[in-house]
Structure 1
Amino acid sequence: MIVRDFILWFENAPAGARADGARVLARAWLDGRLDEAGRVEAEQVFFSLLDDPSPLARQALAETFAGAAKAPPALIAALACDQTNVSALVLARSPLLSDAQLIDCAAIGDSCAQAAIALRATLSPAVSAALAEIAAREALVVLAVNEGANLPEFAMRRMIERFWNDGELREALLGRAWLPATVRAALVAATARQLTDLAVERNWMERARGERIAQDSRDRAAMIIAAGCADYSNEIAALAAYLRVSGQLTAGLALRALLCGQTSLFEATLSELTGMGPRRIAGLVADPASSGFAAVYARAGMPESLFRAFQFALTALARLPHEKTEDGALRLPVIQAVLRQCEVSGDENLSSLVALLRRFEADATREAGRRVIERRKSETAPAPRPVQQPVAPALAAPILAAPILAPASAASETAPPVVAGPPVAEPAPAPTVETAKSSVEISIDLGALEKELIAA
């Protein structure tokens, strides 16, 4: 009877009152305050509100039923396809929507509806991948910062591929708790590409030089990423596969991997290029002078002119102590050992290789110098000096009028300290002041002190 009276009142009520009435009726339905007949009539009212000319009533229903697990499923499905201010409430919270429904709503919704889906507390890999493929930029930024979203590796790479020049999206992805090695490499490549385009457009450098710098940056980043992975893990293999697909897997990168001591990345590179198993590759790489290594090198399609460089690098790595650096830096002893081997061989065909090695040597020397300087700075860093309080302008006149030589007995424990300013070009010989607690002589430059007090 109450629901029937509500229906009669509802027909002529204003939009705001209808919204309030719908909210009260929905709460009564959820709380179980209606009998079975009343619940059926109330559901009929809810579905009739879907055709209401004002969205306020539907928005009231969405606010009430959004997080309810016992809401009418058909009503939730209808509200999820409504206009954004109604559907976003349901899309972000309702537990009754399946993955297929969420994907369908993302396909037909605007960026706000897609962002509401991306904000859900948990997202399956299927929904995350669908958003990565079709969602707008704003929704992808929300998806990237949502740690509850199960984002597959290929979905993150697709997001970067679609919006590679969007710094906000790249920053959001970098803020995630864990990123696969392939995604980090894709982020580096996108950043290098954008910076290169910017430098060329503003005539800061030529295209060829910009692309050379970008390639060096990508190669260095690949070494750093590989250094953070376990030795010949699935992540290293996936990184090699990504580098090949993206066109970054070059002979120069493979040689840099050895010169950095990243033998696992080199082995993964050969495995990716030849299709051979990792154990077999590791056995062949362990004996670089064998015909088996020469065969697998040729099968990988590596340039013949660099074959001896790879042999020399593997031999040097076997003789030198194993060092795995977290920063993936070039190892100067390995480079110098390869250069010595090239000079001893006397082969004139290695001139281009020697030029490449010299460039690597310069980079390694520069990085080593930077590390030494930073270490020296940290070792010899002076203790922090106490902050000196500036002299107030009101004290300037008394201090200037005070005698230069103050007797030790006249020194007050509460007197403000005298701060010496920077020395002038030709300072006049200044007298000394003996303190009561120390025999240290303090030289006071009156000209510099006066300038400092006036400036204060």
Structure 2
Amino acid sequence: MIDSRPKLNVMEIRRLVEATDEDDRATAAHKLCRTMVTATLTAKEREAAQDVLRLLAADTAEMVRRAMVVTLKSSPLLPRDVARRLAADVDTIALPLLEASPAFTDEDLIEILRASSVVRQIAIAARPQVSSQVAEIIAFEGTEPVVRTLAANDNADIAPISLGAILDRFGGSREVATALAYRAVLPLDISERLIGLVSAQVRDHLIARHAVAPETMIRLAGHAGERATVDLLDQARTAGDLAEFAARLNARGALNASLLLRALATGVMPFVEHGLAELAGTPHHRAWLMVHDAGPLGLRALYDRAGLPPRLFAAFRAGVDTWRGLQAEGAPFDPATFQQRMLERFLTQRPHASRDDLGYLMERLDRTEPALTRRSAA
């Protein structure tokens, strides 16, 4: 059978050794290295090829060394000693290797990090794979541009202690915090620290992508300036276990009449049911019956057992009746449209709610209407 594998070309090697013209040597080096990349080499051929690479690495012409590096920057064929030698070369040669070559050990990369320029450190931080050991050195010792590059590299294995160090050192940098926030995986404590450091858009991504504890949401929702973005009701709509969510809110003293009334007025009825059940110490199925199927006195009995203020019961009654009326219409409302209808009808009844609660609900209505208008116009 004929062997069709690419083979090292003796003529190209001889041309490389004997040529005096730099362009000729660079062309020969490029062709030879391409052959090495595609060839299936025996152990003896591999050893011979690496000897040729050592010869190329010692060439006085930058063009020759660069021809080799560009072709073999990601190849396992490049020997470690050659890679280390070229890592000390000029940037046009060193950077492609530092960005991609598998020839370096972690020890090599750490040594280079501590002895090289920022641009070379950035190249290492952006590698296709960065070990936790290398990432730790960058996190604890790197400058902001290098750390930002590491944070944005999802293929970097950044241990929790290193993530914490990054936030300790550069938490005030919006760019670093944002890069961390968009990582595919984040520990819960890091996500919660980031919540207060990033923009509203990035914060929404954090909340949607990473599990954020209700305790954090409670703390943030207490600040009026952040209520529009970090809203406990938005969390309630997506919570996987509403019973647990309500229990945790109650343990922190955040499950109250104001929150439940807001949930009711915006149509988040399952959360209202679980919230009342939690406050009343009643199983959810029983609370559901008292809200929906126990006649006019069922809701009142559950409300009183939950210990909610008597002055707000009329507003709760209006909210439940409004919700039932919309359900009875049977229209196929999407969630946003249903929320708008709930808010409109609830607010037109002039419910006896606090000024803060009414202001919040009007704000929700203001945010819902433009979104629906844009959707209908699209």
* TM-score scaled by length of structure 1: 0.43
What is the aligned partner in structure 2 of residue 62 from structure 1? 69
Kindly provide the CA deviation profile for residues 336-392 of structure 1, in whole angstroms up to 9, marking residues without a partner as x: 99xxxxxxxxxxxxxxxxxxxxxxxxxxx67634442244457878974998xxxxx
Aligned CA-pair RMSD:
5.0
Equivalent residues in 2 for 1:94-105 (5 A)?
A: 94-105=101-112
What is the aligned partner in structure 2 of residue 368 from structure 1? 357
What is the aligned partner in structure 2 of residue 27 from structure 1? 34
Give the counterpart letter for 1:13 in structure 2.
D
Give the counterpart letter for 1:73 in structure 2.
R
- 1:56 Cα shift? 2.4
8 Å contact kept, 1:114–1:136: no
Specify which of 160, 164, 171 is matched with residue 157 of structure 1: 164
8 Å contact kept, 1:185–1:222: no
Structure 1's unaligned 5+ residue stretches are 193-212, 232-254, 263-316, 324-333, 338-364, 388-456
8 Å contact kept, 2:65–2:93: yes
Specify which of 92, 101, 122 is matched with residue 99 of structure 2: 92
Cα separation, partners in 2 of 1:216 and 1:157, compared to 1, 3 Å: farther
8 Å contact kept, 1:144–1:169: yes
Equivalent residues in 2 for 1:32-47 (5 A)?
A: 32=39, 43-47=50-54
What is the aligned partner in structure 1 of residue 149 from structure 2? 142
What is the aligned partner in structure 2 of residue 301 from structure 1? none
- 1:65 Cα shift? 1.4
Q: 3-state DSSP class of the match of 1:259?
A: coil
Kindly provide the CA deviation profile for residues 173-206 of structure 1, in whole angstroms up to 9, marking residues without a partner as x: 12223332322343356569xxxxxxxxxxxxxx
- 1:149 Cα shift? 1.9
Kindly provide the CA deviation profile for residues 407-448 of structure 1, in whole angstroms up to 9, marking residues without a partner as x: xxxxxxxxxxxxxxxxxxxxxxxxxxxxxxxxxxxxxxxxxx
Separation in 2 of the partners of 1:222 and 1:379? 16
Separation in 2 of the partners of 1:367 and 1:170? 32
Separation in 1 of the partners of 2:156 and 2:226? 30
Specify which of 2, 21, 29 is matched with residue 13 of structure 1: 21
Kindly provide the CA deviation profile for residues 201-239 of structure 1, in whole angstroms up to 9, marking residues without a partner as x: xxxxxxxxxxxx9x9699999997x999999xxxxxxxx
- 1:21 Cα shift? 2.4
Separation in 1 of the partners of 2:371 and 2:144? 48
What is the aligned partner in structure 1 of residue 118 from structure 2? 111
Give the counterpart letter for 1:135 in structure 2.
G
Separation in 2 of the partners of 1:42 and 1:377? 70
Give the counterpart letter for 1:372 in structure 2.
L
What is the aligned partner in structure 2 of residue 426 from structure 1? none
Separation in 2 of the partners of 1:100 and 1:25? 30
Cα separation, partners in 2 of 1:34 and 1:68, compared to 1, 3 Å: closer
Cα separation, partners in 2 of 1:40 and 1:171, compared to 1, 3 Å: closer
Give the counterpart letter for 1:6 in structure 2.
R
1:75 matched to 2:82: yes
- 1:98 Cα shift? 2.6
8 Å contact kept, 1:145–1:172: yes
Give the counterpart letter for 1:174 in structure 2.
A
Separation in 1 of the partners of 2:372 and 2:197? 42
Give the counterpart letter for 1:95 in structure 2.
P
Equivalent residues in 2 for 1:172-251 (5 A)?
A: 172-188=179-195
8 Å contact kept, 1:63–1:89: yes
- 1:83 Cα shift? 3.3
- 1:33 Cα shift? 9.1
Structure 2's unaligned 5+ residue stretches are 1-9, 200-219, 242-248, 257-277, 285-305, 310-353
Separation in 2 of the partners of 1:179 and 1:367? 35
Separation in 2 of the partners of 1:86 and 1:52? 13
8 Å contact kept, 2:83–2:97: yes
Separation in 1 of the partners of 2:36 and 2:52? 11
What is the aligned partner in structure 2 of residue 308 from structure 1? none
1:260 matched to 2:249: no
Separation in 2 of the partners of 1:383 and 1:4? 70
8 Å contact kept, 1:165–1:191: no
* TM-score scaled by length of structure 2: 0.51
- 1:81 Cα shift? 4.0
Separation in 2 of the partners of 1:132 and 1:90? 22
Separation in 2 of the partners of 1:179 and 1:38? 46
- 1:169 Cα shift? 1.3
What is the aligned partner in structure 2 of residue 197 from structure 1? none
Q: Answer with 1 or 2: which has the greater Rg.
A: 1
Which one has a larger percent helix, Structure 1 or Structure 2?
2
8 Å contact kept, 2:128–2:155: yes
8 Å contact kept, 2:121–2:146: yes
